[in-house]
A and B are shown apart, each in its own frame.
Chain A
Amino acid sequence: MLLYNLRLPQSNKTDGPRGPMHPKRILLAAAALAACVPAAYADDNKLTLENRIAQCQGCHGIPDWKTAFPEVYRVPKLGGQKPAYIVSALKEYRSGDRDFPTMRAIAANLTDAEIEGVAKYYGGDAAAPAGDRK
Chain B
Amino acid sequence: MRPAMTKKLLALALLAIAFPVAAASGDAEVGKKKSTPCAACHGANGVSVSPEFPNLAGQYEDYLESALKHYKNGKRKNPIMTAQAANLTEKDIMDLAAYFASQNALQVKH
Q: Looking at chain B's contact residues, is the secondary structure mostly helix, strand, loop, or mixed?
A: loop
Tell whether, in the assembled complex, residue B51 and residue A81 are in contact, meaning their CB atoms are under 8 Å apart.
Answer: no
Tell whether, in the assembled complex, residue A129 and residue B45 are in contact, meaning their CB atoms are under 8 Å apart.
Answer: yes
- A74-B62, A98-B76 are known contacts. Are A133 and B107 too (CB-CB below 8 A)? yes
Tell whether, in the assembled complex, residue A129 and residue B62 are in contact, meaning their CB atoms are under 8 Å apart.
Answer: no
Tell whether, in the assembled complex, residue B60 and residue A81 are in contact, meaning their CB atoms are under 8 Å apart.
Answer: no
- The verdict on A18 contacting chain B, using a C-beta distance below 8 Å, is no
Binds A, one of B20-28, B84-92, B98-106: B98-106
**Complex CA–CA separation, A122 to B109 (angstroms):** 7
- A62-B108, A71-B66, A133-B104 are known contacts. Are A77 and B53 too (CB-CB below 8 A)? no
Q: Number of contacting residues on B, CB 8 A?
A: 28
Tell whether, in the assembled complex, residue B60 and residue A79 are in contact, meaning their CB atoms are under 8 Å apart.
Answer: no
| A86-117, CB < 8 A from B | 88-89, 97-99
**Complex CA–CA separation, A64 to B60 (angstroms):** 8
**Complex CA–CA separation, A79 to B108 (angstroms):** 5
A residues touching B (Cβ–Cβ < 8 Å)? Answer: 57, 60-64, 71, 73-85, 88-89, 97-99, 121-122, 126, 128-134
